[in-house]
Amino acid sequence: MEDEFVFITKISPEETYQKGLVRGIGDDAAVYSSSDQMEQVVCVDTMVEGVHFRRDTLSPYQIGKKGLAINVSDLAAMGAIPTYYLVSIAVPPSWTEEELTQLYKGMNELAETHRMDLIGGDTVSTNDVLVLTVTAIGLVERGKARYRDQAKAGDLIFLTGYAGTSAAGLDLLFQKGLHGPFSIEEQELVKAHQEPLPHVIEGRILSTANKRISLNDVSDGVASEANELAEASRAKFIIKSDKLPIHKAMHSYPKEKQLKYALFGGEDFVLIGTVPKEDAKDLEEEFHQIGLMFEIVGFVEEGEPGVFLLEENKMKKVEKNGYNHFKKRG
């Protein structure tokens, strides 16, 4: 297998059988009808030790917290209210019971924040590495789920938080190890990687707004997520490099490095989306009134679907370049 995204397209069913299915494969989560008023939103994600996390950059507690956060972020990108989660874990002999307890403690702390219930799962042994699979379930008002395919020419592109902080924090962990030493600014970046906070409140605002909005979460970098929106909407996205929100802790970094982290870093778990130009100001004011970020970073126009970076009056195409499990390396 050379490309996981091509493979997913190949195995996606051509027809479905359940009348209640609203949206299946192809977005951040699946959506199906659960009542006259609400729809259910379900997503699943797997983390493999040595591929998605390393024990020299994350504690067991942080691994668990991030394992749930990844899924909660997908629910946020659909505008959903998190409600339940299930955990399947394959445990190797190298993990102790105390470490596993800490892993579940990390998940539980995030779950308490969003009032989510752990309702089941599976625990098995393995001779290899730890594998953590979390399924998260949420609810959204009927017809209010947000999808990737709603962008149109004339829309503005927005982000609900900083881009590139998690990648910068990961690089610092690679350089200095799990326990530092880190400056105050570096600690902010490291925490952004170790304990990212899904933008659930932001997703709910965008879900309940009576506006046409496309939405995605930044798990694989702005370039990858913007490309997913552009492909789904069959639209051309223009991102202005000088408008990308960069955390103050990264201001001492060269501009080229800031841009690399923002576009290709991933795991920021902020939201990226589009909104009609005439509606952007209202949303911006609503976000800012409660202390939340809403930054306009570009615009949508007609043309070949894809993402283009506008930098110093020069335009260049930005490829997806998100993490691909089956891409040949080295």
pLDDT in tens, 150-194: 999 999 999 999 999 999 999 999 999 998 899 999 999 999 999
pLDDT score of 326: 37
- Does 155 show up as a binding residue in the annotation? no
How many angstroms separate the first and last alpha carbons of the chain? 16
pLDDT score of 21: 73
- Does 74 show up as a binding residue in the annotation? yes
Q: How far is CA 242 from CA 84, 151, 295, 309, in A?
A: 39, 22, 12, 10
- Does 242 show up as a binding residue in the annotation? no
For 312, the token pair is 């110093």
- Does 217 show up as a binding residue in the annotation? yes
pLDDT in tens, 283-323: 999 999 999 999 999 999 999 999 999 998 899 999 887 54
Please list the residue range(s) of the chain that carry CATH number 3.30.1330.10: 19-141
Which fold is adopted by the domain 19-141? 60s Ribosomal Protein L30; Chain: A; (3.30.1330)
**Per-residue confidence at 8, pLDDT binned at 50, 70, 90?**
low
Q: Which residues contact 184 (CB under 8 A, 6 or more apart)?
A: none
CB 169 within 8 A of CB 56: no
- Does 252 show up as a binding residue in the annotation? no
CB 166 within 8 A of CB 45: no
**Per-residue confidence at 253, pLDDT binned at 50, 70, 90?**
very high
- Does 166 show up as a binding residue in the annotation? no
- Does 3 show up as a binding residue in the annotation? no
236-240 vs 306-311, strand pairing mode: parallel
pTM score, whole prediction: 0.87
Q: To 5 degrees, how large is the angle CA 244–CA 179–CA 70?
A: 45
- Does 61 show up as a binding residue in the annotation? no
Please list the residue range(s) of the chain that carry CATH number 3.90.650.10: 155-318
- Does 220 show up as a binding residue in the annotation? yes
The CATH homologous superfamily for domain 155-318 is: PurM-like C-terminal domain (3.90.650.10)
The mean pLDDT of the chain is: 91
- Does 267 show up as a binding residue in the annotation? yes
Name which of 47, 220, 74, 179 is nearest 136 in CA terms. 74
- Does 207 show up as a binding residue in the annotation? no
